[in-house]
Structure formats: C-alpha cells, structure tokens
Amino acid sequence: MKYLILIFSLFQTSCTLLRGSQYEGPRTENFNGEVFENHVPDSEKKSFWRYLKMRMRESYPDWPKTFPAVTKTIPQSHHDAKVTFINHATVLIQLDKMNILTDPVWSKRASPFSFTGPKRVIEAGVDFDKLPRIDVVLISHDHYDHLDEMSIKMLEQRDRPLFLVGLGNELLLKDLGVSNVVSLDWWQEYKMAEVTFTFTPAQHWSGRGLFDRNTTLWGSFWIKGSKSVYFGGDTGLGPHFKMIHDKLGAPDLALLPIGAYEPRSFMKHQHMNPTEAVNAHMTLESKKSVGIHFGTFRLTKEDYFDPEKHLKAALKEQAIDESLFIAPKQGEELIFVE
C-alpha cells in the first residue's frame, strides 16, 4: 500500500511540476536541445520504476530508534573563513563578510508531501530563525532533498538573497516568488562584491516528477574570495574533479557528499561512497574536506553510521590524517583557515 501511495504522490507531483521546469535554451556542450547530459553517460538508464523495484526487493537494515542529540548553534559574524554544517547538504559558509547558504532544507520530509517520502530523523543544527542574514543561496540541483520549496520561500520572505542555480531551475524559483535569481551553465561565473561564484560540473541528474528527468541543469559550486571553497552538491565520482582542479586549482576547503550510496549497483554513477569521496579529496588536492549529505534523511540502504565509519576506513587506507577530512556533527562549526 505504501508504494501505491508513493506512486500516486509522485504522479500528482509530476503533473504539477511540468508547468515550467523545462529549459528551452540553445544547444551547448552539455545540453542536446532536449535534456542535459553528464560528461560520462550512465551505462544503465535509471528510472523511477527501477528505483521502486529496487526498494521493494532490497532488504534495509534497521536504523537506530534514537539518534545523537543535536547541539544547536547560533552562528555569529566572523572575521575568518568559517563553515557551519546545518544538515544534509545545507552548510553556512561565512567568507569575506558574506553569508552563503548551500541547498537549504528545513522541511520535515524531502518530499512534495507531508505524509510520504524520506523523513527527517534529526533536527537541523541551526534553527532557521537563528540564521544570520543570508546574502547568497547556492542550489546544486532540483531534487527535493536539495531544493526545498518551504525553505526557499522563508529565505525569500526574510532576506531576499541572491539565488544562484543551474540552467532551467530559475523557472521554479520564480514560480515560488523569488525576486533575485541567476541561472548558470557549467563554468559560468557570477561575481558579488569580492567573491566569485563558478558553477562547476557534477555527475548526477535532475527531476522532480516522473517526466522531467534532466530538463534542468545540476552542478557544483566553486567559491573564490580571500579563500576558496568547493561545494560538491550531489555527485558520483567522475572526471569533473580533475577538470575542476586543472581549471581552478586546489580549494582551501571542499564540501563533499559521503552518504546515500547503497546499493552500488544503482547509486554508483550518481552518489559517491566515502572511499570515492576520499578519492575526490585527493584529486582536488583540497587542504581540508568536510563530509556532507549524510545523517539527516534515510534515502538509501546503508546503515546510519556507515558513512562516518567507512570514511575513517578510507582515510586510514590512504594514510590521510582524519583531521583533514571530517564528518561533522549537525551544528558543528569549523574555522578552516588559520
């Protein structure tokens, strides 16, 4: 029964979201005139139906009945470059007197509905009303655990920040009432004050319904001010990490996804596991990396503690000090430049 509800919910959602989420610009290196493409195509075409079949067949380990307590943080202005891990892929980056927020999600579910879809298992590390005024919001792609309509509306109403998104995503944000949104293709830049934002490639996909797959662009962000930060968004391991390093250099800090990676037969192309995240850390030659995209929503098969455990094992295997790539607690602050 729960799967029938899920199918019905997603069908309803797809019908409502087909109103304007189709990018209609000219062909580019990564847009074939109809859909966007990765540098490396997936050898197996994934679909919602295949995902549903996989969920029905796979057995999932039980998650804990209770979860680690969250120490709530109230971010203050800071003279140094600082990041605060809020939850999932939501990170507050404070750099050069600018407050930058990535993939803001405060909703209880990563879903278009309140009664179905991945449910939050732990509170955000920063309450929304304790956020400082946000200047820029970066949205990596349109999946519900990264583009949360409620959070976007609250940010727009309170702060009216600049939203930076991939091509096509501006249509949905404008429908949500966002007044200041700029869409970017891969490698396009936007400068605000002394900080430059570059929309960089990722190996992933987009879509919020059944029939809009890859009609908007996904990606990652390179933030360059007095220091540099790479925000990986959602991505599999691919050649884009070397491309980013070759074009833009080594970041002072990389925010790299380490969760939602099992089973590998389905997730490998779109989500890195911790071992692959360490590989990306080394390819980027990041001075320090922070794991994101774990511990908030149950999206895939791995155990709750697996991302942290497997990250430590991968670092040990590569003889990398654990302090150079951490899996933070929600609400944890990190001054990443001495």
Tens-digit pLDDT profile for residues 84-112: 999 999 999 999 999 999 999 999 999 98
Query: Is residue 311 scored above 80 in pLDDT?
Result: yes
Other residues' Cβ atoms within 10 Å of the Cβ of residue 285? 11
Alpha-helical regions (H) of the chain: 2-17, 48-57, 149-158, 169-175, 240-248, 264-267, 274-284, 306-317
Identify the helix (H) or strand (E) that includes residue 57: helix 48-57
Residue 11: φ, ψ to 5°: -65, -45
**Structural domains of the chain sorted by starting position, each given as residue range(s) with its CATH number in brackets:** 2-20+45-335 (3.60.15.10)
Taking alpha carbons only, the member of 318, 325, 297, 305 closest to residue 117 is: 297
Distance between terminal CA atoms of the chain?
A: 54
Work out the average pLDDT over 114-127. 92
The sign of the CA dihedral 196, 199, 202, 205 is positive
Per-residue pLDDT band for 336 (boundaries 50, 70, 90) equals confident
What was the pLDDT predicted at 115?
A: 84
What distance in Å separates the CA atoms of residue 332 and residue 71, rounded to the nearest whole number?
8
DSSP 304: T
Range from 45-59, 86-100, 134-148, 255-269 carrying the lowest mean pLDDT:
45-59
Number of residues assigned to the chain: 338
What was the pLDDT predicted at 20?
A: 43
Q: How far is CA 46 from CA 110, 143, 206, in A?
A: 20, 15, 12
The b/e string for 98-129 (b: 16+ C-beta within 10 A; e otherwise) is bbbbbbbbbbebbbbeeeebbebebbbbbeee
Work out the average pLDDT over 167-186. 97
What distance in Å separates the CA atoms of residue 254 and residue 102, rounded to the nearest whole number?
13
Q: Residue 56: exposed, middle, or buried by beta-carbon count in 10 A (0-12, 13-18, 19+)? A: exposed
What distance in Å separates the CA atoms of residue 286 and residue 252, rounded to the nearest whole number?
6
Query: Is residue 1 scored above 50 in pLDDT?
Result: no
